[in-house]
Structure 1
């Protein structure tokens, strides 16, 4: 039953985020992407601090793991995701280093969904097919990791698994919006772009199965898996999403931004209360 739940959760998080991103990218792009960034940031932080980390510390008592070791794992996880992010940015900058300055908008779109409009406006050259493959490869690797994290959460508690799957989907939607814009520039067929990105999202399920087998065999290390999952969500929220929201806005726009942020937190809290009944 746990494996079935993991498969459903990973498919919803992986492929569902791609299809929702396609809807936003093709129909409602400019208006709702910023709201989704706020919602995703709130959901990720709430999932990490009110779901994953408390569960990890509770399990650590049973497994005989010290709180100090978990905090070290959290620190290592944050530094690891920072270095991974830097390596990916360096690779993209090196790959397109001989392009004109507009390639910066293209590269940053892959990392940050709020540059989607700029990338669409500036990146008209359809000859950069390698960029499309870089996007697909990067998404596949990232999706595999998401699957492992979701599986770890489901093994610990089905309620954690549901929260983790929804949080992954929420933060992947803005990311995939940017990816779709890039792929539409590198592939002549928009349907092919959506199909290939959907396949990349489907890799989440493969990661989920591998995570289920791995976590089951190494159950005593489950607190560390949960802490790494939390560090991933915290890093994405604080390094990728929150900085995009830190810009000068009108009072009305600021209020809407804060409201969507708290909506993300409330969504996770409501999910936790619903799952307990």
Structure 2
């Protein structure tokens, strides 16, 4: 029962707390917020990579249920390809939906056009919330799997997820506001979506408790998720600023994220 409390507590850290911190950034002036987000992204990259290579993968290899490293390597590769295909499917649906509504403004009066655009904006906001809820649910599963392996690993994993969630939740807030949601509604729905982390964690706790032999594979899938998000989604966004000073700042913050995970993991052990 004590372990379950740890899992629920750090699931709230990874989900709910990151939403609250992200919402607080909306209170900052737009220029300040614009400069802060790339720094958060850089730090999140370091935290995700640190948690993957310094925590999740070593624990998967050293797990009491010894698994062939080749099988774990194959699982990592399959996980990366699966996340690539999943993102491709989501992008295709987004582009297809956008293409299907390109001619809406020409169908009627300006009033009807405005109404259609508002409706499309609300639909986009709803899709963001559903996708975020599913993502948070998976994060909860990963946190639970890490805690079931080792409490220290669970803490490190939750920290990495929280670091990644803050800039992502901030982006979700901006999209919801542009979709026509009020600040209060955007905050409410994001908090509701963040609770998916706790739901996923609790379900995974009871499901995986009797499936210990699967934990190494779950840890590797978690690592593949972190690596893919860091390398495929976050790092490309940093290439928009190629100045030497910007690159140095990015490297410093990436290393800071790695050091945080390393120090936390070492201190807890």
Do both share a fold (TM > 0.5)? Answer: yes
C-alpha RMSD of matched pairs (Å)? 1.5
Does residue 181 of structure 1 match 2:174?
yes
Q: Is the 8 A contact 1:153 1:160 kept in 2?
A: yes
1:90–1:25: structure 2 CA closer, same or farther, 3 Å change rule? farther
Report the equivalent of 1:39: 43
Query: 153, 169, 177: which one pairs with 2:146?
Result: 153
Q: Which runs of 5+ in 1 are unaligned?
A: 102-124
Q: Which runs of 5+ in 2 are unaligned?
A: 104-116
Cα deviation per residue 1:217-242 (whole Å; 9 max; x = unaligned)? 10011100110110000000000011
Distance in 2, Cα, partners of 1:58 & 1:173: 31
Distance in 1, Cα, partners of 2:11 & 2:62: 25
Decide which moves more: 25-34 or 76-85: 25-34
Does residue 266 of structure 1 match 2:259?
yes
Q: Is the 8 A contact 1:126 1:185 kept in 2?
A: no
Question: TM-score, normalising length from structure 2?
Answer: 0.89
SS in 2 for 1:65: coil
Report the equivalent of 2:159: 166
How far does residue 25 in structure 1 lie from its aligned partner after superposition?
A: 3.2
SS in 1 for 2:195: helix
How many residues are paired up? 251
Report the equivalent of 2:185: 192
Report the equivalent of 1:26: 27
How far does residue 174 in structure 1 lie from its aligned partner after superposition?
A: 1.3
How far does residue 248 in structure 1 lie from its aligned partner after superposition?
A: 4.0
Q: If you compute each CA radius of gyration, which structure gives the higher value, 1 or 2?
A: 2
How far does residue 246 in structure 1 lie from its aligned partner after superposition?
A: 1.9
Report the equivalent of 1:96: 98
Q: Is the 8 A contact 1:41 1:264 kept in 2?
A: yes
Does residue 11 of structure 1 match 2:12?
yes
How far does residue 273 in structure 1 lie from its aligned partner after superposition?
A: 2.0
- Trace 1:230-245 onto structure 2 (pairs within 5 A): 230-245=223-238
How far does residue 249 in structure 1 lie from its aligned partner after superposition?
A: 3.0
Question: TM-score, normalising length from structure 1?
Answer: 0.87
